[in-house]
Structure 1
Amino acid sequence: MTTPSVTLNDGNTIPQFGLGVFLMPADQTKQHVLTALELGYRHIDTAAIYRNEQAVGAAIAESGIARDELFITTKLWNSRQTDAEAAIAESLQKLGLDHVDLYLIHWPTPQYDTYLQAWHSLQKIRADGLARSIGVSNFHEQHLRRVIAESDVVPAVNQIEVHPSLAQYELVGINDSLGIATEAWSPLGRTADLDHPVIVQIADRIGRTPAQVILRWHVQRGLIVFPKASSRERLQRNADVFDFELSADDMLAIDALDAGHRVGPDPETMNVH
């Protein structure tokens, strides 16, 4: 499995494709991650709130893969924004690692207004070698511009919800203009996206699955994706998106499916601690 890499604004590189473990039960996560690693996956995206960091770490240890071949992301949960240094220590202990490759602020939680404090802590975490790159998740333009203006450090990544029914052209464009790489969470969106006649028609015509068509749409936009999958077959199929291209017309047809429909919360009102 050969996966292209994206170069971040700090000079580090990240595999453009990986495995997400959101809502993956801890007692199943280890085997799913091990299977993905056996298939050639090298990028794993987890978070403290997923409560499966320990299982991810167990899979990494059992895999025997050299640490420098892996790209591991975890995230700072909302209630720990004023306690980020202790939070990363806990995550690293669970993962069994001395550093992560990417550490993200999970949500801006504007009601609490502590994300700027968290961002300053992440800079220290990076300086201390506990994270090679730092970034944010679910940040809108005003949140991004504030952390940049008040710290002079541009996040390497903004991980946001993106799929055909929520294409996020404007926010992706803002990320691009600021030199921030965009990661797409929930890249396959709703079942309605996979079943949409436009997606199904393209998939049937080119001999691919609807999921492969959607993931290829992300890849051709330059986005970083890490869909969740549990079966070996789906893990393999999801990753098989680098040996074909969608035509310009196909890309435009998928672009036109944008309806502003979210799967997850709106970052403007998401304030759960």
Structure 2
Amino acid sequence: MKHIKLNDAVEIPIIGIGTNTYGKEGNQFSGTLRGDTEEVDWAIENGYRHFDSAQLYNNEEVVGEGLAKSSVPRENFFITTKLNTMDGYKGAEWAHAEIEKSLEKLQTDYFDSFLIHFPWDNDDEILEAWGILENYYERGVFKSIGVSNFETEHIDLILEKGDIRPVVNQIKSNVGNWNDELIGHNYKNGIATVAWGPLGGIEGEAEQVLSEIGEQYGKTAAQVVLRYQIEREVIVIPKSHNKDRQAESLDIFDFELTAEDHGRISSL
């Protein structure tokens, strides 16, 4: 597994696994919890060590139970979770309480990475929330801190007025929406990009092009997309409820794309 060194010198596996529907009835985001950790168990068996979770997913306990019951030591896992700010920020007391709940649900006393999940329309509150993350970082409870779904103006706010630079910005980046401009802004400021939903948009003409490229290397369209992203230093967190497809997403380190391949893919 290749790792990326973040701006705080912490190393993150360049491939992780998304978990937002794991352990849920019908594999649906809004599904109730089934009471098992099947997909997490498969991921660990397949070799995943980077797990991406969030309070918003309402299944942190599924990830936590799966990791805790495995034979893999905690220090071998890279665990990310996120403060649920989809509906805004509800104050410092709320933020502290939610963080403590996440630590309990994920059965850990620290997070490798903790992110603010969404920006909202209040700069002072964003900075207050960031200050809380900085405090947990300084205490060692968070090994790294970052953001998710932040646009350039939100990044610039923290860079200008925060004390600690975010290590990552987790954003949508996939076929049809590579988000090159924002990735470039992240990169310019020493912030790594994590791509959520990296296998989206693989359909129609795009799927045909990706499959043609993949045929040269004995790889699927999905594997080509993931390879394209990691070759430009973008961290990916694909998700699958199929054990074999989980394994396929890790099997991308035995080929390299050409400059021509990159040109064709970037235009999709």
Q: Is the 2:137–2:144 Cα contact (8 Å) retained in structure 1?
A: yes
Cα deviation, 1:164-223, whole Å, max 9, x if unaligned, reads 211111111110110001000000112427953211211223221111011101111111
Q: Where do residues 193-208 of structure 1 align in structure 2 (5 Å cutoff)? A: 196-208=207-219
Q: Where do residues 31-50 of structure 1 align in structure 2 (5 Å cutoff)? A: 31-50=38-57
| Match of residue 118, structure 1, among 118, 123, 129 | 129
**1:77–1:193 CA distance, 2 compared to 1 (3 A):** farther
Whether 2:141 is the aligned partner of 1:130: answer yes
Q: Where do residues 170-185 of structure 1 align in structure 2 (5 Å cutoff)? A: 170-185=181-196
Structure 2 equivalent of residue 27 of structure 1: 34
TM-score (norm 1): 0.89
Q: Where do residues 245-256 of structure 1 align in structure 2 (5 Å cutoff)? A: 245-256=256-267
Distance 2:18 2:89 in 1: 22
Distance 2:38 2:166 in 1: 32
| Match of residue 166, structure 1, among 145, 160, 177 | 177
| Match of residue 254, structure 2, among 233, 238, 243 | 243
Task: List runs of 5+ in structure 2 lacking aligned partners.
Answer: 25-32
Whether 2:65 is the aligned partner of 1:58: answer yes
TM-score (norm 2): 0.90
**1:55–1:115 CA distance, 2 compared to 1 (3 A):** same
| Match of residue 70, structure 1, among 73, 77, 89 | 77
Between the aligned residues of both structures, percent identity stands at 40
Indicate the larger mover: 203-212 or 231-240: 203-212
Distance 1:81 1:256 in 2: 41
Task: List runs of 5+ in structure 1 lacking aligned partners.
Answer: 258-273
Q: Where do residues 80-95 of structure 1 align in structure 2 (5 Å cutoff)? A: 80=89, 82=91, 83-95=94-106
Distance 1:112 1:146 in 2: 8
Secondary structure of the residue aligned to 1:37 is helix
**1:148–1:81 CA distance, 2 compared to 1 (3 A):** farther
Provide the aligned length of Structure 1 versus Structure 2: 255
Structure 1 equivalent of residue 9 of structure 2: 11
Distance 2:35 2:220 in 1: 25
User: RMSD of the TM alignment (CA)?
Assistant: 1.7
Structure 2 equivalent of residue 147 of structure 1: 158
Secondary structure of the residue aligned to 2:175 is coil
Distance 1:254 1:113 in 2: 40
Whether 2:207 is the aligned partner of 1:186: answer no
Cα deviation, 1:100-150, whole Å, max 9, x if unaligned, reads 100000000226862221111100111222211000001111101101111
Distance 1:130 1:32 in 2: 27
